[in-house]
Chain A
Amino acid sequence: MQIDLRTVSIQPLRQTFDHLARRFGDKPASRYQEGSYDIQAAENLHYKPTWDPDQELYDAKITKIVMQDWYALKDPRQFYYSTYTLARARQQDATESNFSFVESRGLADMLPPAVRETALKLLVPLRHAAWGANQNNTLICGYGYSTIFTQPCMYHAMDNLGIAQYLSRLGLLLGDTEALDDAKAAWLEGSAWQPLRRYVEDTLVLRDPFEAFVAQNVALDGLLYPLVYARIVDDTLSAQGGSAVAMLTQFMTDWFDETRKWVDAVLKVAAAESDNNRAVLQDWIRAWSTRAASALLPVVEIALGAQADDAVGEQLADFRARIQKTGITL
Chain B
Amino acid sequence: MPARRKNPHKLAIGEDLTIYHAAAQKQQFIDALAAAPEQLDIDLSGVAEIDTAGFQLLMLVKREARRLGKEARIVAHGEAVRELIEFYNVAADFGDPLLIPAHDA
Q: Do A and B come from one complex?
A: no
